Amino acid sequence: MGVGALILLGLLAFVLWCGIQCIRQIGTPGFKTWPLIGVTLEVAANYHRLYDWLSWNFQVKETMTMSATMPGRSFLFTVDPANVEHILKTNFANYPKGEDFQEIFQPLLGNGIFNSNGEAWRFQRKTASFEFASRVLRDVSCRVFKDHALKLARIVHGSQESEGSLEMQARIKSSSFLLRSSRKFIQDLFMRMTLDTICYLGFGLHLGVLAPNLPRNDFATAFDACNAIISYRCADPFWKLKRFLRIGLERNLRRHLQVVDDFTHSIIQQRRLQLQDHHARIFIRFLRLSLQSKQDLLSRFMLLDESFSDDHLRDVILNFVIAGRDTTASTLSYFTYMIASHPDCATKIYQELHEFEEFQLSDNSHRPSSFEDKIHGFTQLLTYESLAKLVYLHAALMETLRLFPAVPLNFKLAVTDDVLPSGAVVKRGSTVSYVPYCMARVESIWGSDASQFRPERWRRDGAWDFSVSPFKFTAFQAGPRICLGKDSAFLQMKITAALLCRFFEFQLVPGQILTYRVMATISLVNGVKVTTSNCTSE
């Protein structure tokens, strides 16, 4: 037998032995690494349930770090809060957004705040921080959030009067796209609401997609398609080849990106024309000297540096769309599912809201009678200060964010060799990931009921306590990259949730299974199918 044949026989025997070892481990937690292809097969087979698959694997040791290998890439995953703090704060400079991650998301996020490092990131964050720290923005946001929550409540109420079901209402009022997506109606409403608000507050644009006739929105459809296609690149080692050959999902990416780019560039051109208007020129010098004045985010970037290209401003827009639209809308969708599947929690929220309303109206002898007057009157009670009294509602939102963090998986790149607090060794160039979705289900972090939705979790020693380490509750990241829009997100979610839970009771349509889409943000494949009934009291 020749040397070549012996080598081939030995290689086959080695592959067979590795295969047998992997097969023996099927059904037990832990990554199954195959020769040459690493965990590629396992990732592909479980991609549709990626975060639950990762949670199952973390059972090997609940707060451990795990390493996996794919062709040419090395991954390290962790759910250990001490490791998370080390990555996000203690050794922050060693864990930027990796080049692989940046290349993957470049078509959609470009060089925006979520896809940049160093000076580019610092400049965008500093500019945006002025807006989010502004009391003017907070007051304007509160008004805008209330106006849009009212619009949403009226549409929900209208669905009862016509068909009694949000799902049926979608069929009779929506465009052809929504006709094919009626099961996503309540999630679609949240997406429309948050898109309208981020476009107005961020870019000064009245988009108007949250309207009774539910107008078709090609941008939102294309943006979601781009998000899903690009996110799948993280699990597809052959995406570059597919991009080159223009096959598979990559074939459609360019078409969807064109729709997204046309939308964003139209916003930019519209704002440039407004800033160049004859009347605007009178104030342009003053605005440059007083950037704390009431300005939308896009105008602030334009006024800071007129040399910014349309492409750079496009990246700014899309990064804040994904931050202000997808995250809040997905959280409200999961919140709806949670209260509909936990009627005891829904009852407690309603009782809190009813008592809140009675207290606020205690000195007012006039009580509205019509439904429209009731919801409008209640909305006016929801001020920035008064919302702080709705502690059970806040706890329910915290639980929703804990179990279903808007960004369920986060990637970093190790610039140099490192050792995590757990003792795990990190090699230079490896991808390091912490997984907020999995962390919420680790019993050593949250207790034996970690996987359960329980707002009372946030009540300790007879008092509500929402102070928690951001390295344990990682829904808004932590360290230098902690979310700038956290307070704004809570403000919109609390206003919307308070209005809906005060006047509507949600019932789940039987037989549905909650299924998420594996994207940069954790939206639902089929949304939440619900019917509603009024729960107003006299």
Query: Residue type for 423, please?
Result: G
| DSSP annotation of 411 | E
Mean pLDDT value of segment 224-233: 88
Q: Tally Cβ neighbours within 10 Å of residue 224.
A: 17
Q: Which residues are annotated as a binding site for heme?
A: 483
pLDDT grade for 181, boundaries at 50, 70 and 90: very low
Mean pLDDT value of segment 45-60: 85
pLDDT grade for 213, boundaries at 50, 70 and 90: confident
Q: Residue 229: inside a domain, yes or no?
A: yes
Q: What is the pLDDT of residue 16?
A: 60
Q: What is the pLDDT of residue 415?
A: 95
Mean pLDDT value of segment 343-367: 85
Q: Tally Cβ neighbours within 10 Å of residue 305.
A: 10
| Distance in angstroms (rounded) separating the CA atoms of residues 502 and 494 | 12
Contacts of 282 (CB under 8 A, 6+ apart): none
Two tokens at 402? 């804990």
Q: What is the pLDDT of residue 499?
A: 96
Residue 36 three-state SS: coil
Q: What is the pLDDT of residue 518?
A: 87
Q: Residue 180: inside a domain, yes or no?
A: yes
pLDDT grade for 360, boundaries at 50, 70 and 90: confident
Question: Degrees (nearest 5) of the Cα angle 333, 382, 369?
Answer: 95
- Inter-axis angle of helices 297-304 and 278-289, to 10 degrees? 80
Residue 265 three-state SS: helix
Q: What is the pLDDT of residue 273?
A: 82
Q: What is the pLDDT of residue 180?
A: 32
- Average pLDDT of the chain? 82
Query: Residue type for 459, please?
Result: R
- Inter-axis angle of helices 118-132 and 310-321, to 10 degrees? 60
pLDDT grade for 171, boundaries at 50, 70 and 90: very low
| Distance in angstroms (rounded) separating the CA atoms of residues 332 and 335 | 5
User: Is the torsion defined by CA of 93, 94, 95, 98 positive or negative?
Assistant: positive
Between 1 and 194, name the one with better pLDDT.
Answer: 194
% of the chain at pLDDT higher than 70: 79
- Inter-axis angle of helices 486-503 and 185-203, to 10 degrees? 140
Between 389 and 360, name the one with better pLDDT.
Answer: 389
CATH number, domain containing residue 356: 1.10.630.10
Between 185 and 449, name the one with better pLDDT.
Answer: 449
491 has pLDDT over 90: yes
pLDDT grade for 277, boundaries at 50, 70 and 90: low
pLDDT grade for 366, boundaries at 50, 70 and 90: low
Domain that holds residue 397: 122-405+458-534
396 has pLDDT over 70: yes
43 has pLDDT over 60: yes
19 has pLDDT over 70: no
Whether the CB-CB separation of 474 and 440 falls below 8 Å is answered with: no
Q: What is the pLDDT of residue 57?
A: 84
Q: What is the pLDDT of residue 386?
A: 94
Q: What is the pLDDT of residue 283?
A: 53
Of the candidates 246, 260, 254, the one whose C-alpha atom is nearest the C-alpha of residue 311 is 260
Q: Which residues are annotated as a binding site?
A: 483
Q: Residue 10: inside a domain, yes or no?
A: no
Top mean pLDDT of 166-175, 210-219, 264-273, 326-335 is at 326-335
74 has pLDDT over 50: yes
Strands (E), 234-319: none
**Phi, psi (5° rounding) for residue 532?**
-130, 155
pLDDT grade for 34, boundaries at 50, 70 and 90: low
Q: What is the pLDDT of residue 365?
A: 56
SS3 content of the chain, % helix, strand, coil (to 5): 60, 10, 30
Largest CA distance in the chain: 102
Q: What is the pLDDT of residue 41?
A: 72
Overall domain count for the chain = 1
Q: Residue 350: inside a domain, yes or no?
A: yes
228 has pLDDT over 70: yes
Q: What is the pLDDT of residue 46?
A: 81
6 has pLDDT over 80: no
Two tokens at 92? 């922050």
Residue 37 three-state SS: coil
94 has pLDDT over 50: yes
pLDDT grade for 165, boundaries at 50, 70 and 90: very low
| Distance in angstroms (rounded) separating the CA atoms of residues 217 and 194 | 13
Two tokens at 43? 């990732």
- Give the lowest-confidence range in 39-43, 372-376, 391-395: 39-43
Q: Residue 50: inside a domain, yes or no?
A: no
pLDDT grade for 337, boundaries at 50, 70 and 90: very high
Q: Residue 439: inside a domain, yes or no?
A: no
% of the chain at pLDDT higher than 90: 43
Q: What is the pLDDT of residue 185?
A: 79
Q: Residue 135: inside a domain, yes or no?
A: yes
Q: Residue 453: inside a domain, yes or no?
A: no
Top mean pLDDT of 314-323, 370-379, 410-419 is at 410-419
